[in-house]
Amino acid sequence: MPRKTSLHRFAELSIILSLLVVLLGKIFFSQGSSMLFLFSYGVSVTLIIWMTFFVAFIFYKDPYEIAVQNKKMKGSYMVSCMVAVKNEEKNISRCIDSMLRQTYENKEIIVVNDASTDGTLKILKEYEERGEIILIDLKQNVGKKKALARAMTIAKGEIFAHTDSDSVWATDAIEHIEKIFEHDKDVGAVSGHGRALNGSQNTLTKIQDSWMEGQFSIRKAFESVFGAVTCVSGPLAVFRKEAIFNFIPAWENDTFLGREFKFATDRTMTGFVLGNGTIGRKIKEEYKDSPFVKDFDYKIRHWKVLYCKSAKSWTIVPDNFRSFLIQQVRWKKSFIRNLFFTGAFYWRKPIPVALVYYLHILFVLMGPFISFRHLVYLPLKGDILSAVLYLCGIIFIGFSFALACKLEEKGEHRWIYRPLMSLMSTLVISWLLFYSAVTIRKMVWSRG
């Protein structure tokens, strides 16, 4: 990853200072005495956003850059690359080819066909016949978690690298992440960097692509500074076998409100790594008769979960509004489920990252009510200015993320779409929380 230029540093400091000015303005010029809760809410939101940018810009360093300073590393770990696929005949070749092209040689590729009904299996058999992949062909659909669990039962690697069937990796992605594991034996999982593979397709995909940049290079970078990334995301999710293997039966049989919970695949797996030292013994006792526990009894310990900015991946994002809403509902259900899982022990993490985590939950839960007050209730009472100022604040935050995205782009202009994601989140996405909560027992996975 290239070193930051002085112009890059200046832009980062400008974003931090502008957010600080807004924060100080809210503290000293808001009428906090009459509405203490709303005053505190507004100040807290701005403070958390400022702190996230500040830590990500000032303190985050790609762990790969730290690892390569150790010149004795030889790539000693075997990496098992895995993907579960169902009905992806249009995308699966691109996914597998990106794994085959990895510069890291000490690897195996395991593909699980989860009862595809299109031409996916035919494509996979061609790879298998050439000896390029290990194929597991399931005749009955079991879902992503159980399919990947089948792959992990036969995997030979000390490192498990998961991806989605509609995603691709940069050729050096695994090489970068393997060095992190080799350098720091306390790292249990690493998230790569993700962008939209179809980001230039239309306005909606450009909005999502610019949003993804900030979610990784700002939010995950912030969490990574404290070794506590909350979600090792699907396009490039890499785990140390030792950190997750005993928890696979709990992961693949995850239940919520009395039913199997098929979503939150990446968040829940990450949660098992983050909570290893806290909830590990109880889970191992519960599944002590499972081969995942009985045959491999790994030590309970506290692991770091990091983010590697230089390990690039791309995934296909929804290209129409209906598919986008379906995805967001699935993500909201995962968010709700993980309130009761990761939220139960994340308070044990360093205070700054734990504070941001729980306040973010509060902001998500309160968001619809705050936006209703500013955009509906107050304007109906004649206070139109409140709606204007509220929307300006939303756009300002979006523009801060947009500038951060611009710093990472070369010759691209998708960063200008980022404020639209902030508006969309306020006006549309935040309200899906209610629908997601009411329908949370509905576990139908669909891209729309």
Pairing state between β 304-315 and 187-196? parallel
Answer whether residue 32 shows pLDDT above 60. no
**Contact of 359 with 48, CB cutoff 8 Å:** yes
Answer whether residue 3 shows pLDDT above 70. no
The answer to whether position 340 is within a domain reads no
CA-to-CA dists, residue 119 to 45, 89, 91, 116, 429, angstroms:
48, 6, 11, 8, 35
Tell me, what's the pLDDT at 65?
A: 94
**284 and 218 inside one domain:** yes
pLDDT averaged over every residue in the chain: 93
CA–CA distance, 361 with 382 (Å, rounded to integer):
31
The answer to whether position 373 is within a domain reads yes
Number of folded domains that form the chain: 2
**14 and 104 inside one domain:** no
CA–CA distance, 111 with 90 (Å, rounded to integer):
16
Domain that holds residue 17: 6-57+348-438
Q: What is the mean pLDDT of residues 372-399?
A: 93
CA–CA distance, 361 with 346 (Å, rounded to integer):
12
Cα angle 44, 46, 47 (rounded to 5 degrees) comes to 60
**143 and 281 inside one domain:** yes
The answer to whether position 447 is within a domain reads no
pTM: 0.94
**Contact of 210 with 415, CB cutoff 8 Å:** yes
The answer to whether position 249 is within a domain reads yes
**67 and 49 inside one domain:** no
**Contact of 60 with 224, CB cutoff 8 Å:** yes
CA–CA distance, 440 with 261 (Å, rounded to integer):
9
**311 and 355 inside one domain:** no
**Which tokens in the block code for residue 64?**
């790969």
Pairing state between β 259-260 and 237-240? unpaired
**202 and 248 inside one domain:** yes
Q: How confident is the model at residue 41 (pLDDT cuts 50, 70, 90)?
A: confident
**383 and 301 inside one domain:** no
Q: Going along 242-330, which residue ranges are E strands?
A: 255-256, 259-260, 304-315
Tell me, what's the pLDDT at 338?
A: 95
**Contact of 236 with 169, CB cutoff 8 Å:** yes
DSSP annotation of 338 reads: H
**311 and 425 inside one domain:** no
CA–CA distance, 439 with 85 (Å, rounded to integer):
26
Answer whether residue 257 shows pLDDT above 70. yes
**Contact of 165 with 91, CB cutoff 8 Å:** yes
Tens of pLDDT, residue by residue over 345-368, are 999 999 999 999 999 999 999 999
**CATH number for 153:** 3.90.550.10
**284 and 352 inside one domain:** no
Mean pLDDT is lowest, of 50-59, 113-122, 261-270, 409-418, for 409-418
CA–CA distance, 205 with 414 (Å, rounded to integer):
9
Tell me, what's the pLDDT at 30?
A: 64
Q: How confident is the model at residue 445 (pLDDT cuts 50, 70, 90)?
A: low
Q: How confident is the model at residue 33 (pLDDT cuts 50, 70, 90)?
A: very low
Q: How confident is the model at residue 24 (pLDDT cuts 50, 70, 90)?
A: confident
Answer whether residue 215 shows pLDDT above 50. yes
| % of the chain exceeding 90 in pLDDT | 83
The answer to whether position 13 is within a domain reads yes
Mean pLDDT is lowest, of 29-43, 88-102, 269-283, 329-343, for 29-43
Q: What is the mean pLDDT of residues 242-257?
A: 95
The answer to whether position 71 is within a domain reads yes
DSSP annotation of 135 reads: E
The answer to whether position 338 is within a domain reads no
**51 and 68 inside one domain:** no
Answer whether residue 28 shows pLDDT above 90. no
Tens of pLDDT, residue by residue over 125-181, are 999 999 999 999 999 999 999 999 999 999 999 999 999 999 999 999 999 999 999
**23 and 78 inside one domain:** no
CA–CA distance, 44 with 23 (Å, rounded to integer):
9
The answer to whether position 200 is within a domain reads yes
Which residue has tokens 């100040």? 43
CA–CA distance, 163 with 161 (Å, rounded to integer):
7
**295 and 421 inside one domain:** no
